[in-house]
Structure 1
Amino acid sequence: MKPGNYLLFLVLILAVSCKPQSYEKTASGIKATIDSTVVQIQFYTPEIVRVIKSLPGETVEKKSLSVVKEPENLSFSVSESDSIISLVSEVLAVNLNTKTGAVSYGAANGNALLTEKEGSTAFTPFNDAGNETYSVKQSFSLDPDEAIYGLGILQNGKMSQRNQKVHMVQNNTWDFSTFFQSMKGYGLFWDNYSPTDFTDNEAGTEFASVVGDCIDYYFMYGKNADGVVAEMRNLTGKVPMFPLWTYGFWQSRERYKTQDETVGVVEKYRELGVPLDGIIQDWQYWGDNYHWNGMSFLNPGFPNPQKFVDDVHKLNAHLIISIWSSFGPETPQYKELKEKNMLMDFQTWPQSGKEAWPPDMNYPSGVRVYDPFNPEARDIYWQYLNNGLFSLGIDGWWMDSTEPDHLDFKPEDFDNKTYLGSFRKVRNAFPLEAVKGVYEHQRKVSSDKRVFILTRSGFAGQQRYGSNVWSGDLGSSWNSLRNQIPAGLNFTLTGNPNFNSDIGGFFAGVYNKSWNDGTASKNPLFQELYVRWIQYGVFTPMMRSHGTDLKREIYYFGKQGEPIYDAIASAINLRYALLPYIYSTSWNVTSDNSSFMRALVMDFPDDKKGWNMDSEYMFGQSFLVAPVLNAQYTPEKVVKVDEASGWNKGNAKTKDGYPLVDFTEVKSSPVYLPAGTAWYDFWTNEKFYGGQEISKETTINTTPLYVKAGSIIPIGPKVQYATEKKWDNLEIRIYEGADGEFTLYEDENDNYNYEKGVYSTIRFKWNDAEKTLTIGKCNGEFPGMLTNRTFNIVLAAKDKAAGKEIVSDPDKAVAYSGDEVVIKF
């Protein structure tokens, strides 16, 4: 307890025990002292309530790093009866028990939602690097069968996060947001950035944080999962749009060592006719580790940086580049930041000045992490980034190690001072502030290029800063692939829709044996895993191949006409065919708070079989994605055998001595079709009714994919990059069996003019009973927009297996010039 407050604390205890409880009404709620705890309840909106708890005599001045919402001026009532102070808005009823201090929440219609567990509010004195403060915790009581989701990107393979303990400190492959939402339609955001334990067991559901001057959390009621996501974004920030080109296919490797090698990859894709929109330049283009993250091309392999960027652009591709949250001691950034005491001192990566692994600590790298909580430090970071890289025309940022890397951890490392206090106090918000610095500075410099940041860590609110979070340096395994589905879905349910993973997994060394040439083309175990991962990657917000140990470019997997090559090419081409659907979905994410990856509970809350489904999900409103997540042709695990013959010693081998696998064999995979609608097999157009599990025949080139009845799907042209052709001849697929609608969104594909209303929408509406499609009037305009086009309307039917062909023979070709058209079938 802070000096001088103890006597006041005792006096307040006596005062509280000797007089009736009372409260003070404030502009947005109430303030009351209950059982020696000051409780403030504040309405931010009719759906969102903030609760702040502190000890008497303590001054609480906290500005949230995550929350950008200010309390609205709204009407609510306050009343007191039978030891209960009640606050009621149009939507929520909040009760404060004046005997126990517990706060409970219900809908205005009387439905109970959540209750604090009585006596669970706790403040424990804690010395935080010389600052006398507290550790804080609060427990809640949930219904026994109540499913909850969120908490971030967790590699635990779980959908519902009940019955577990999660220690929340940002790291390479686990990204934490102290938020969960419930099947009952509410969400809870624990606004604390220090190391935090989330615990759910029979005793209750608890957040406990190492450092907190106060308990501070937000309760929101959205009525359903989409509503909770919308409230979380209302509280912590909306999602800006990414450029169209970010939704194409991205190729990367750890790492391309020269600019000619990087450009050569793009040239090879163009030569093969395989679509590609982006290439990523990974680390050490700056040279040695002493110049770590120098944001300049000091490596002799990159002698002409401007030509490097221009060559990629001439191939109609985009380039993003690796930048970090740390600097080597020979960089000007390091020297300037050190002089201003804006560097932290703990072990980070790389530890050695030499490239060899393991690190040679006789030659320490001296690399240190900077303080992104300091606005001046963020200014310095951008100054060098702008002058060294952005000025060259680089298109986006791969912000690596934004958790950041923290190696050889010692408790005293948390004593490092930041602009906002100890590193311990703000630890988990590091990625939020690091990404914020780049986003806000680039927005000030240019509105012509949308900010796109690929980053390795995320926290609540980061969705507002133009970032797509990937799930870190995963090991290549089937279990890692399986874990990505619940990891991405739970991250989405925290309000951040932008998730991706390294297709194939990052560390693939287990597959790189002496009988393998270091590529991947002759290793059937990795071939199968990679194909299934890339088929899953089609249906994530960013489709990106990356890793080490084995090369991932398509031409290392064989050639056209061979099963693995063709399966990879088919997946990439499918991604491009769906770009009109994906880009329109991205507009729904921005304008209507929708989500790309949707847990089944979001769209089918009444189907209990979907509540904990960790192997399927919706992509947008129409596609049910059920990736093949188990090996069908090869063993899942690499076993110790004679490496000269592979895992199936004694069986048939190729002429090169590798195990022989027939990837043309037909297999099968189970799929659960959610109840309440009919479904169409995307590949065959066969119709099924929901509420049942079926067996889908698969090949290495086919993954289970279903379309919900009533869906309207625009299919784009065959292209080599996202903007190669205009959408003037789209196929529009109608999946009968229910009414449906779809809004086609178009704009200039990049820049922020859409924020000023410079875009267009066309609404398609299907009336199933009347077999009528209405193509609405084109609303809005933008430079270069189409004034005349053709829509090729196709009614999905079993005798039109359109899945493998991008364009089918249309049932009707409709000329469209912007006015409403009604088509009767």
Structure 2
Amino acid sequence: MKSIFICTILFLCVTFLHAQQKPNEVRDDRPTMIVSGAARFTLLTSHIIRMEYDSTGRFVNAPSFVVIHRDLPAIPYTQINQGQWLIIKTSTMELKYKIGSGKFNQENLQITYKQANGSPILWHPGMANNENLKGTFRTLDGMNGDTHEGDTIPTPFQNGLLSRNGWYLLDDSNNFLFDNSSWRWVKKRNNPELDWYFMGYGTNYKAILYDFTKIAGKIPLPPRYAFGYWWSRYWNYSDDELRTLVEKFKQYNIPLDVLIIDMDWHTAGWTGYTWNKSLFPDPEKFLQWLKGQHLKTALNLHPASGIAPTEAKYTEFAKAMSFDTTGHKNIPFECADKKYMSNLFNIVLNPLRKEGVDFWWLDWQQWPYSKEIAGLSNTWWLNYCFFTEMEQQTNLRPLLYHRWGGLGNHRYQIGFSGDVVISWKSLAFQPYFTATASNVLYGYWSHDLGGHWFGNVPDSLKKIDPEMYTRWMQYGVFSPIFRTHSTKDPRLNRVIWNFTGDYFNALYNAIHLRYALAPYIYTMSRKAYDTGISLCRPMYYDYPQNKEAYALKDEYMFGDNMLIKPVVTPAINGLSTVKVWLPAGNDWYEWSTGTLFKGGQIITRKFMIDQYPVYVKAGAIIPMYDDKVKNLQENSKDLIVKVFPGSSFSTRLYEDAGNNNDYQKGAYTFTKIQTEKEGNKVLRVTIYPRTGAFSGMIHNRNIEVQLYGSVIPDSVVLNGRLLSYNTDKKNDTWNYSGHDLTVHIRSNDVSCNSKTEFEIYYPSKQVDINGMIGEMHRLKKAVAFLKNSGSPIPDMLSGVNQTDIRIEYHPTHFNRLIHEFAMYYPQVGDLINQTIVNPSIAKQCSYYLYNY
């Protein structure tokens, strides 16, 4: 019996020890929370581990300002106790913690992250994240480029989530929490010790941004109208002046969506809530008139001074706050006071919204922290209060226009970047600043396009530089929010009808291009909601292994299919020079010139004022609107499917109701659009039946397929039916435009729920038109320059200059006309030099023609 007993004991001991060594396989349906004494580890995603240490064992489960979701689906893991160590393994990470060893330090905690290429990243507490790719900062107020006016040291960025180290540690230990009331309010942590989130990703930057949205919330989709043109100017506009302004926009055929009225709308100084009746005799009627013009309206707010005795709502507000009005003092502002903020909305602001105000420009510039709760950022908390209060009131999509308050503020949308100095340096800094903010998911910076104030320059230089303003507006087309603004200065009235010639044309075209790109922009913004990948993002998201992606900081991707290299320096002799890196992996099509470039090279290019360096992935399909769209409040029935030269491609068009929250509940549609090439002879463009549904969606649309930079095809077939060539642009016909060498195919009243297929058949022998769009454009500019200088125009030059019109008149002569253009264009310079008496004029013409 004794031997049996001893054997039994030995068996149990061996079994116990074996159990300590063998991994405990945990199924997906088990919790992913592991407690070891005063330490708790939560496996949130395959890239994120939460690590808490609390000596009292009262771990935090309430949402924090940054991390609002932790109840995520379980992920597979194994857990073993190996000697003194707790070891937790997932498919990508291994965590080791020395059991019972106290607060985390480099001796008792380490994480190994396994990259896709197999190489590990080893992390322990105290390691420096010295290759952080940065995030953003609160404001560009007073900045001239990357420094404040008069300073020489660049303004530091806050760290972002992404780093070339391949990891990031979010220390949430001292962050505020939300309570569990119906309108969740701020509460302090009772026992902040350690609350860390380790994020491992290597170079898979997109994966960690997506995972961060799982724990920190998605980037809300702004209302569709927010992607249109915003007119804003600090000026004491009156009712009749704004009506005249809006009518001028109509007169010049300028689309417009948002009208911002700066702070002179109210009677007080910086802080005010009562309409100035000398400027707006009947505010409600004025606001309703704006709605009849299909415009959205925002008013500027500076709430720091509280509620003054001069305010119309002062007595009512004081009563609600039990405030002693003896002495007629201001009712002090305090955004951490829930009673104050509730009354501010219920008594003061919501009645203004009922009159017709759509959203607020909340411009907080005063003390940084709450006077009631130490350390609470007024900017961060105001963003939360205004956005969530709007969210609770109606099903209309909340929109807030304010400053960056810190990590987690991506949930409150559009940022006002502040009052920058008008300079090329400021323009040059904004593309990098905007794209880098996507590293903290703050993807909707809105800039004062054109700059805000003149800065410290002599009065003689305080005037609008039309070239700089044009280039700033062109950049604005390819930025998140398209908004102009300036300080109260009569020299800064930048309505585009104050510009002339090429500047007016370039500005006009820029605004219309912004509206044309609305379907693409809106689709990419939906992608930002779904994935955390912002509309404007750095090149290293897609090309993390390339040094150029990090070095060329002002180059960025605009959505998935466009690469932008902004013009940020003045032109020399009418041409602006840029150096562009075109990544390998696909070819790139230079939109403004119709030139196809191989990927994997750096090129130097020159552009005229009405050209911009936009590079589209070869073969890309860009959904667009036509020039009939005047605002973005409704989905247009007219859709352009623009197809760029290249290989087969596929994309999706996203649509929803535009200004409600139903998009979060599945009320939206996607339409797949695909091209297939059979060598150079056949191109098939297929628009598939849309999937999904939402209230008010259109059922039929007019479709125009545009094959940009294309030779003339032999024939076009729509759904098996041969289409006729017709220059009258009738339904179910096609034709060709010579100025942009584009095939236009139209089909009206097409069901959105049916498949539509276009087949384009090309000749077996095709002429080379690569770059010819740009050459035709250059030639027209040169001829116009000669005519304006009074120089004679040789017949041969005039004839070559009419190639685009000749093609449209005689499409069957396409090959001959293209051959002639290609033959004569190189000779034009010599012809000009031989016939133009003034050598400086001839030299300028040649410069226009051949510098690109």
Work out whether the TM-score is over 0.5.
Answer: yes
Question: What does the per-residue CA deviation read over 1:751-781, in whole Å, with 9 as the maximum and x for residues that have no partner?
Answer: 2333343332211123345643332111123
CA positional deviation for 1:544 = 0.3
For residues 152 and 114 of structure 1, the distance between their equivalents in structure 2, rounded to whole angstroms, comes to: 29
Which residue does the alignment assign to 1:87? 88
Q: 1:693 aligns with which of 577, 602, 605?
A: 602
Which residue does the alignment assign to 2:366? 405
Question: What does the per-residue CA deviation read over 1:364-418, in whole Å, with 9 as the maximum and x for residues that have no partner?
Answer: 99795422x34333312221344431111212211111xx5238xxxxxx68322
Q: 2:163 aligns with which of 179, 182, 186?
A: 182
Helix, strand or coil: the match of 1:713? strand
For residues 233 and 59 of structure 1, the distance between their equivalents in structure 2, rounded to whole angstroms, comes to: 23
Q: 2:536 aligns with which of 597, 602, 625?
A: 597
The structure with the larger Rg is 2
Measured at CA, do residues 108 and 702 of structure 1 come closer, stay the same or move farther in structure 2, by a change above 3 Å? closer
Which runs of structure 2 are paired with 1:200-239 in the superposition (5 Å)?
213-221=192-200, 224-239=204-219
**Contact 2:284 / 2:355 at 8 angstroms: preserved in 1?**
yes
Question: What does the per-residue CA deviation read over 1:111-148, in whole Å, with 9 as the maximum and x for residues that have no partner?
Answer: 4335134xxxxxxxxxxxxxxxxxxxxx3245x7x553
Instruction: Name the aligned partner's letter for residue 199 of structure 2.
Output: M
Helix, strand or coil: the match of 2:391? helix
Instruction: Name the aligned partner's letter for residue 707 of structure 1.
Output: V
For residues 68 and 325 of structure 1, the distance between their equivalents in structure 2, rounded to whole angstroms, comes to: 27
CA positional deviation for 1:598 = 1.3
Helix, strand or coil: the match of 2:135? strand
Question: What does the per-residue CA deviation read over 1:126-184, in whole Å, with 9 as the maximum and x for residues that have no partner?
Answer: xxxxxxxxxxxxx3245x7x55342556869999xxxxxx99xxxxx9885x6421246
Measured at CA, do residues 227 and 730 of structure 1 come closer, stay the same or move farther in structure 2, by a change above 3 Å? same
CA positional deviation for 1:596 = 0.3
Instruction: Name the aligned partner's letter for residue 375 of structure 1.
Output: K
Measured at CA, do residues 821 and 556 of structure 1 come closer, stay the same or move farther in structure 2, by a change above 3 Å? closer
Which residue does the alignment assign to 1:370? 334
Larger RCO, structure (CA 8 Å, separation 6 or more): 1
For residues 399 and 39 of structure 1, the distance between their equivalents in structure 2, rounded to whole angstroms, comes to: 41
Q: 1:148 aligns with which of 133, 155, 165?
A: 133
Which runs of structure 2 are paired with 1:225-624 in the superposition (5 Å)?
225-289=205-269, 292-298=270-276, 300-326=278-304, 327-330=306-309, 331=311, 369-371=333-335, 373-401=336-364, 404-406=365-367, 416-418=371-373, 422=374, 424=375, 426-427=376-377, 430-447=378-395, 449-465=396-412, 467-510=413-456, 513=459, 520=463, 523=464, 526-548=465-487, 549=489, 552-555=492-495, 558-560=498-500, 562-624=501-563
Q: Which is worse superposed, 619-628 or 712-721?
A: 712-721
Which residue does the alignment assign to 1:70? 70
Which runs of structure 2 are paired with 1:3-42 in the superposition (5 Å)?
28-32=32-36, 38-42=38-42
For residues 233 and 527 of structure 1, the distance between their equivalents in structure 2, rounded to whole angstroms, comes to: 41
Which residue does the alignment assign to 2:114? 107
CA positional deviation for 1:322 = 1.0
**Contact 2:620 / 2:646 at 8 angstroms: preserved in 1?**
no
Helix, strand or coil: the match of 2:578? strand
Which residue does the alignment assign to 1:789? 701
Helix, strand or coil: the match of 2:72? coil
Which runs of structure 2 are paired with 1:649-728 in the superposition (5 Å)?
665-719=574-628, 721-723=630-632, 727-728=636-637
CA positional deviation for 1:591 = 3.1
Query: Percentage identity across aligned positions?
Result: 24
For residues 551 and 699 of structure 1, the distance between their equivalents in structure 2, rounded to whole angstroms, comes to: 26
Which residue does the alignment assign to 2:755? 820
Instruction: Name the aligned partner's letter for residue 696 of structure 1.
Output: R
For residues 512 and 262 of structure 1, the distance between their equivalents in structure 2, rounded to whole angstroms, comes to: 32
For residues 727 and 457 of structure 1, the distance between their equivalents in structure 2, rounded to whole angstroms, comes to: 33
For residues 672 and 749 of structure 1, the distance between their equivalents in structure 2, rounded to whole angstroms, comes to: 36
For residues 642 and 322 of structure 2, the distance between their equivalents in structure 1, rounded to whole angstroms, comes to: 56
Measured at CA, do residues 308 and 105 of structure 1 come closer, stay the same or move farther in structure 2, by a change above 3 Å? farther
For residues 144 and 95 of structure 2, the distance between their equivalents in structure 1, rounded to whole angstroms, comes to: 35
For residues 738 and 391 of structure 2, the distance between their equivalents in structure 1, rounded to whole angstroms, comes to: 41
CA positional deviation for 1:677 = 1.4
**Contact 2:317 / 2:347 at 8 angstroms: preserved in 1?**
no
Gapped runs of 5+ residues in structure 1?
1-24, 118-138, 160-165, 168-172, 196-209, 344-363, 408-413, 634-661
**Contact 1:790 / 1:816 at 8 angstroms: preserved in 2?**
yes
CA positional deviation for 1:285 = 1.9
For residues 741 and 220 of structure 2, the distance between their equivalents in structure 1, rounded to whole angstroms, comes to: 32
Measured at CA, do residues 225 and 269 of structure 1 come closer, stay the same or move farther in structure 2, by a change above 3 Å? same
CA positional deviation for 1:623 = 1.0
For residues 602 and 638 of structure 2, the distance between their equivalents in structure 1, rounded to whole angstroms, comes to: 37
**Contact 1:398 / 1:453 at 8 angstroms: preserved in 2?**
yes
TM-score when scaled to structure 2?
0.71
Helix, strand or coil: the match of 1:140? coil
Q: 2:685 aligns with which of 762, 773, 777?
A: 773
For residues 365 and 629 of structure 1, the distance between their equivalents in structure 2, rounded to whole angstroms, comes to: 50
For residues 72 and 726 of structure 1, the distance between their equivalents in structure 2, rounded to whole angstroms, comes to: 35
TM-score when scaled to structure 1?
0.73
CA positional deviation for 1:717 = 1.2
For residues 742 and 537 of structure 2, the distance between their equivalents in structure 1, rounded to whole angstroms, comes to: 28
CA positional deviation for 1:470 = 2.2
For residues 464 and 574 of structure 1, the distance between their equivalents in structure 2, rounded to whole angstroms, comes to: 28
For residues 694 and 581 of structure 1, the distance between their equivalents in structure 2, rounded to whole angstroms, comes to: 27
Helix, strand or coil: the match of 1:810? strand
Q: Which is worse superposed, 687-696 or 325-334?
A: 325-334
Q: Which is worse superposed, 689-698 or 64-73?
A: 64-73
**Contact 1:554 / 1:565 at 8 angstroms: preserved in 2?**
no
Which residue does the alignment assign to 1:162? none
**Contact 2:274 / 2:312 at 8 angstroms: preserved in 1?**
no
Is 1:810 the counterpart of 2:750? The answer is no
**Contact 2:65 / 2:175 at 8 angstroms: preserved in 1?**
no
Helix, strand or coil: the match of 1:611? helix
Helix, strand or coil: the match of 2:389? helix
**Contact 1:580 / 1:716 at 8 angstroms: preserved in 2?**
yes
CA positional deviation for 1:49 = 1.5
Q: CA RMSD in A?
A: 3.9
Question: What does the per-residue CA deviation read over 1:280-309, in whole Å, with 9 as the maximum and x for residues that have no partner?
Answer: 0111322122xx533231452122111221
Give the paired residue count: 671
For residues 193 and 154 of structure 1, the distance between their equivalents in structure 2, rounded to whole angstroms, comes to: 24
Which runs of structure 2 are paired with 1:605-644 in the superposition (5 Å)?
605-632=544-571
Measured at CA, do residues 228 and 377 of structure 1 come closer, stay the same or move farther in structure 2, by a change above 3 Å? farther
For residues 690 and 456 of structure 1, the distance between their equivalents in structure 2, rounded to whole angstroms, comes to: 38
